[in-house]
Structure 1
């Protein structure tokens, strides 16, 4: 476990949650390749991955990124300008500036109940779980990114983030290998940017000021 971090410094950092599923590897490579190296944000990737299997994402994504890419260690103090890969085995949440396992439950945000969003029954949705915690812990400093994938994981989480004045970006479903996840997020009406990963260059210093409009490249 990392030594105690500066909670005041952590409270000022933008936190970017990136969710993807089937077909998202190409999207992740392109997204990271286009990231500026000095946004000052923390990036957390959650993908649908078979439980118990080792993830090679840090090794695969590292050569494509201008930022360091590493696996999450529970309780580690998060650092800006770094990419963390979290396995969705039990779900991960942001808590007091650290990523911790949620214990297999979907953490429900008060924001979701306020916007009358109901949690679905069934297995945990690791992307929603992360996004809900970002909404609660980071508020307007949270940015959700939904990349290629099947299903609707992330759809409820983006609504929670928008309720807290955060920002939402999704991959254009027309360019995604599997467009269900970004399309479902767009259907909420809560998406700020719709971009292809190869062209994902919104004005990064300004994206922490939500605009509630969909922008296409």
Structure 2
């Protein structure tokens, strides 16, 4: 992600990813970055293979550690596990300290934060700067920045895009299954009916670990 005078200096790719889609987007962006540098191979069926054991910083190290050198790992399992990593939650804490997110009360003592108007402006400025025509003349598209700002729809690599589509479907099914099992007093939907008009993708809470593709907005709490 190239720097922009419109975006605060302290905001990097991971911070923008968090503003755009929460911890899940940070994980996905990091996976894309590892793939671009060929430290992580992504097969169409969602199988991950690591070619290195350490990366650049704790978030990359966490993801690589979740991919055994001998057997590899499933993309869905890695995405679910890595999103709970303290290093990613530290990104949120930094955004709160910078005034780009704010703490909000959530039921059952969950820690969460929501994007502030300043955060929305920051994210909008980054998206506008990313789309500037003069960037295209500087070289190939900024794949990692695109993944951070626009989500899965920005993945132009066919194998990676296919792997994330498969993984999104698996995660959605897992979330729907857990929602049906949870008691109503804990926020579950015991009588979930696909024909009821409730959209399980739009109805999720980010700090509960949803993996919707927030390509066009930054709404929600994380």
Q: Report TM bin, short chain.
A: under 0.3
Question: Whose RCO is larger (CA < 8 A, sep 6+)?
Answer: 2
Mark the structure with the bigger radius of gyration: 2
Return the structure number with greater strand share: 1
TM-score with structure 2 setting the length: 0.27
TM-score with structure 1 setting the length: 0.28
